[in-house]
Amino acid sequence: MPHRTPPATDAATALQGHALMVAQLRRPGACGGHPDPAGLIETHISSLLLAGHRVFKLKKPVRLPFVDFATVELRHEACQQELRLNRRTAPRWYLDVVPVRKGPTGALITLGGAPGVEHPGEVIDWAVMMRRFDDRQLFSRLAAGGQLSTSMVVDLAEVVARFHAQQTPAPPGFGRAEATRHVARQNMTELAALLHTSSASPALHEAGAAASVVALQRWTEARGAELATLMDLRCRTGHVREVHGDLHLGNIVWAEGAPVLFDALEFNDTMRHIDTMGDLAFSFMDLIAHGLPRLAWLFISTVLEASGDHAALPLLAWWAVHRATVRAKVALLGAAGQGADAGALRAQAQRYLGVATRLAGLDRAAPPPRLVLTFGLSGSGKTGAAGQLAQRLGAVRVRSDIERKRLFALPPTARSTPGLYAPDATRRTYERLQEVADQALGAGVSIVVDAASLQRQERNALRAVAARHGAPFHLLVCQAPLPVLQARVAARQAEGRDASDATPEVLAQQQQWAEWPGADEAADTWVLDTDGSLDEVARRIEALPI
């Protein structure tokens, strides 16, 4: 039975009561016994009390189109959900759900006590108790301060890929195109309404925000209709899962030497049981919004290398636009009651609208996607060059070494097994590379194929994929002196941490049967000298005539 929408006066009274309770909990000793006054962070749906090394998160008694915390029972249920969901990714940081009690002098949270001994006082609310982390290490702050490194983003991608792989397919009914598109449509309607409230800054209207939202509404609806068949297919094939649901950079922290995902979306089952690409697209979009498009493409490329789910690429832009408009809406909701911070939140909303407009291709005609194929002997630096070039292009990278082992259900660092490099296995590997390139180009996404491609027929097959899509094709020839190749192969083999199985013997064999690009391939060929320091090679890649 649907909940009755409370009168505005009831809602205001509930929020006033919540504010009074929070003020009482901030008193010394009232918040888990901490002797100092508790700090406070507020969002439009939560109040977070900072008490020493602990955080107590309370739900505000709000009822919005996408969340209902109007009763104590609903807030208790949401707290339990939050604990369950976040223990999947941050078990050391999410500790318990604790009651807020009515004490003699006001609200308090008490901890400890003998087993079986009841604490006095009526339970008036509930809170999620967490360990406190260093919020200076939030990915959002690291990104804003220019401190987010490529290695951190690679680690994040690997953590997210493992998390998604561990989740089972969602129960029937979740993730279907109709429901997914309804959520996006509802979000756009709410965003448009917010722009017309008195809290919206005139500057937003002067910047054409309302017109942008109308254009984004039309694009979201039209593109969603085009993707409906794929959405339903992925629902049937197990790619809709109970994921994080709110994976922007502010919900990721670098803690104890690794990325930690926290604050999963607990209040709406439909918005949490979604296509895995919907989760990835949030982090991808937010990296772009923070001015880090290269790291965005590194993130999405690394996750897809781990999962092999390149078939999801057509969904990337649609989901990323939806995520950007969600962040714009959240910023406007926050601006309604943030006083001096309201201007910054409105500017944030405008920034996310701009990102959504660019991702949808509504501000200018997007260049056609392109395909770059590497060529080179083992140790010639193809993988590193392909990775950097993919970031520069705004492309995904696909590695032949990883896809070959995926065909045999082997992890990337597994060593060679019988048949792995037989002619049939090589044929199947290049067919897989062609399939992934076709999926990427069909989605309008550029791709860099990291492969030796020492045989002309291998290069011709991928050149044909590009031609079918009308996409520019480039061959990147990576080369270095033979002693350098030999030293690199030997060092990589000794480390044993890379997907490549090349040995000095394989390198010697490659020299005998490699078919070097002919004069007829010169027109679309770039030659990259990889002999030099990493910085020197990086500068040469940046100088390629893209």
Q: DSSP string spanning 269-335?
A: HHHHEEEHHHHHHHHHHHHHHTT-HHHHHHHHHHHHHHH--GGGGGGHHHHHHHHHHHHHHHHHHHH
d(CA 326, CA 348): 12
Counting other chains too, the contacts that 365-369 makes at CB distance below 8 Å and 24 or more residues apart are 366/444, 368/470, 368/471, 368/472, 369/395, 369/440, 369/441, 369/444, 369/445, 369/446, 369/447, 369/469, 369/471
Q: Kindly list the structural domains of the chain, giving each domain's residue range(s) and its CATH number in brackets, ordered by start.
A: 8-132 (no CATH), 139-359 (3.90.1200.10), 371-542 (3.40.50.300)
Does the CA dihedral 81-85-87-93 come out positive or negative?
Answer: negative
| DSSP state at residue 380 | S
Q: DSSP string spanning 222-240?
A: HHHHHHHHHHHHHHHTT-E
d(CA 232, CA 294): 31
Confidence of residue 198 (pLDDT cuts 50, 70, 90): very low
Query: In the chain, what is the greatest distance between 2 CA atoms, to the nearest angstrom?
Result: 89
Confidence of residue 117 (pLDDT cuts 50, 70, 90): very low
| Mean pLDDT on 4-20 | 77
Distance of CA 409 to the CA centre of its chain: 25
| Mean pLDDT on 161-175 | 95
CA atoms within 13 A on the CB side of 427: 3
Residue 369 has pLDDT above 70, yes or no: yes
Residue 96: which H helix or E strand, with range? strand 94-103
Give the model confidence (pLDDT) of 523-545 as tens digits.
999 999 999 999 999 999 999 99
Query: Could you count the other beta carbons within 10 Å of the beta carbon of residue 138?
Result: 19
Residue 207 has pLDDT above 80, yes or no: no
The pLDDT, as a whole number, for residue 118 is 54
Q: Is 52 exposed, middle or buried (0-12, 13-18, 19+ CB in 10 A)?
A: middle
Residue 316 has pLDDT above 80, yes or no: yes
Counting other chains too, the contacts that 140-145 makes at CB distance below 8 Å and 24 or more residues apart are 140/248, 140/249, 140/250, 140/252, 140/286, 140/290, 142/254, 143/249, 143/286, 143/287, 143/290, 143/291, 143/292, 144/290
Residue 478: which H helix or E strand, with range? strand 473-479
Q: Which of 324, 331, 337 lies closest to 349, judged by CA?
A: 331
CA atoms within 13 A on the CB side of 452: 20
| Mean pLDDT on 62-66 | 85
Counting other chains too, the contacts that 46-52 makes at CB distance below 8 Å and 24 or more residues apart are 47/18, 47/22, 49/22, 49/25, 49/127, 50/132, 52/132
Residue 339 has pLDDT above 80, yes or no: no
Identity at 412, one-letter amino acid code:
P
CB 245 within 8 A of CB 282: no
Residue 408 has pLDDT above 60, yes or no: yes
Distances from the Cα of 175 to the Cα of 234, 275, 483, angstroms = 9, 6, 54
Confidence of residue 114 (pLDDT cuts 50, 70, 90): very low
d(CA 290, CA 329): 17
Identity at 310, one-letter amino acid code:
H
Contacts for 258 with CB less than 8 Å, ≥ 6 apart: 155, 159
d(CA 130, CA 114): 21
Q: Average pLDDT of the chain? A: 91
The pLDDT, as a whole number, for residue 65 is 79
Confidence of residue 202 (pLDDT cuts 50, 70, 90): low
Residue 258: which H helix or E strand, with range? strand 258-261
Torsion-angle region of 303 (φ positive above 0: left; ψ -120 to 50: alpha; else: beta): alpha
The pLDDT, as a whole number, for residue 9 is 60
The pLDDT, as a whole number, for residue 126 is 97
d(CA 158, CA 367): 30
Q: Which of 183, 194, 218 lies closest to 362, judged by CA?
A: 218
CB 355 within 8 A of CB 431: no
Give the model confidence (pLDDT) of 243-273 as tens digits.
999 999 999 999 999 999 999 999 999 999 9
Query: Could you count the other beta carbons within 10 Å of the beta carbon of residue 364?
Result: 8
Confidence of residue 203 (pLDDT cuts 50, 70, 90): low
Give the model confidence (pLDDT) of 177-197 as tens digits.
999 999 999 999 999 988 877
Give the model confidence (pLDDT) of 318-333 as tens digits.
999 999 999 999 888 8
Q: Which residue(s) pair with 95 in the sheet?
A: none
What's the token pair of residue 527? 């030659």
The pLDDT, as a whole number, for residue 227 is 98
What's the token pair of residue 222? 């039209």
